[in-house]
């Protein structure tokens, strides 16, 4: 066993120098160099000896190593081929890790789960995600209806706040609704820039998403529902009436929109940020054309 964890400044520098590794800005690479933060993430994720873990973007293996210590099996998706020999080295002591050289956005994650984990095993996604691509990755995982119990990710603080936000707050928007339709979302902890190498320009948070068995609201058409939600936040300072008139300008006049808002018992003068998910579901019901 190597005596020093990967996630320390000296070991990280050593590994990077040994392999002559240069960070790629385009891949949003920021490696964690604080073991306590990683242990906290694993605790928040509820990883134990029964669990299977999926990691996205293992880097040089800082989080992967801690997952390997605590989980039954770890499958990590890494897009950067230059990191494969490094991971082979840093994870050499662990026989319960598989590294897959694929872009998570292109991968068939259901197929990987079926091939890599035991049937019925509790599976959790745990990752330090590249900031520039956080939302597409999370939406792919959520909409893919994967057999996972939870997703615990380190992401940009502001994005974490938006995903976990409640109505009538500055952070609340269409992203809050999209994420909370599929999960129960909470910000578990905030993380300073100083625990990364290189240091990012923004603060980070750990977001814990517990998958829902059923969405909290029933809608006739999910795509229409999400489109409508997005439309009401089109211009945040504008009223529902104005945003909806802009969205439906080809198919509905203002009079018809007002009529439907009245039928839904929603004041046309309200703004999108004041509506709960339940109210959005009612709104979608009255605007959906069968």
Total structural domains within the chain: 2
State the CATH number of the domain containing residue 272.
Answer: 1.10.8.100
Smallest CA-to-CA distance from 186 within 235, 151, 141 is with: 151
Residue 2 lies in a domain: no
Residue 24 lies in a domain: yes
What is the band of 1 on the pLDDT scale with cuts at 50, 70, 90? very low
Dump pLDDT digits (tens) for 127-154: 999 888 999 999 999 999 899 999 999 9
269 labeled part of a ligand binding site: no
Same domain? 266 vs 189: no
Residue 164 lies in a domain: yes
78 labeled part of a ligand binding site: yes
Choose one of 211, 246, 275: the last residue of a domain: 211
- Whole-angstrom Cα distance, residue 97 to residue 242? 53
State the CATH number of the domain containing residue 48.
Answer: 3.40.50.150
Residue 4 lies in a domain: no
* pLDDT of the residue at 15: 94
Dump pLDDT digits (tens) for 41-99: 999 999 999 999 999 999 999 999 999 999 999 999 999 999 999 999 999 999 999 99
Same domain? 36 vs 89: yes
Dump pLDDT digits (tens) for 194-204: 999 888 888 99
80 labeled part of a ligand binding site: no
DSSP codes of every residue in 71-132? SSEEEEE---GGGHHHHHHHTTT-SSEEEE-S-TTTS-HHHHHHHHS-TT--EEEEEE--GG
Same domain? 116 vs 181: yes
Same domain? 76 vs 14: yes
103 labeled part of a ligand binding site: yes
Please report, for the chain, how many H helices and E strands are present, in that order.
12, 9
Residue range of the domain that includes 236: 222-287
What is the band of 103 on the pLDDT scale with cuts at 50, 70, 90? very high
* pLDDT of the residue at 190: 97
If you count them, how many residues does the chain have?
Answer: 290
Same domain? 158 vs 105: yes
Q: Look up the pTM and report it.
A: 0.93
């Amino acid at each position: 066993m190597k005596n020093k964890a990967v996630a320390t400044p000296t070991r990280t520098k050593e590994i990077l120098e040994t392999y002559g590794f240069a960070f790629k800005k385009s891949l949003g690479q920021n490696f964690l160099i604080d073991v306590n933060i990683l242990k906290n993430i694993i605790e928040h994720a509820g990883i134990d000896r029964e669990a299977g873990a999926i990691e996205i973007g293992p880097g040089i293996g800082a989080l992967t190593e801690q997952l390997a210590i605590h989980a039954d099996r770890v499958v990590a998706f890494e897009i950067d081929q230059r990191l494969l020999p490094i991971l082979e080295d840093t994870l050499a002591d662990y026989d319960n890790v598989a590294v897959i050289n694929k872009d998570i956005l292109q991968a068939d994650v259901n197929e990987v789960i079926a091939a890599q984990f035991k049937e019925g095993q509790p599976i959790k996604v745990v990752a330090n995600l590249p900031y520039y691509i956080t939302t597409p990755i999370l939406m792919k995982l959520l909409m893919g209806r994967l057999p996972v119990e939870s997703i615990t990710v380190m992401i940009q603080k502001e994005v974490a706040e938006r995903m976990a936000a409640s109505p009538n707050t500055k952070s609340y928007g269409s992203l809050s609704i999209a994420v909370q339709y599929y999960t129960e979302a909470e910000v578990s902890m905030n993380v300073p820039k100083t625990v990364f190498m290189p240091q990012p320009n923004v603060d980070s948070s750990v977001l814990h998403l517990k998958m829902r068995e059923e969405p909290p609201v029933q809608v006739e058409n999910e795509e229409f529902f999400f489109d409508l939600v997005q439309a009401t936040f089109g211009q945040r300072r504008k009223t529902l009436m104005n945003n909806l008139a802009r969205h439906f300008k080809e198919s509905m006049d203002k009079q018809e929109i007002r009529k439907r808002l009245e039928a839904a018992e929603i004041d046309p003068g309200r703004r999108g940020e004041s509506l709960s998910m339940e109210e959005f579901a009612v709104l979608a019901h009255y605007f959906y054309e069968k």
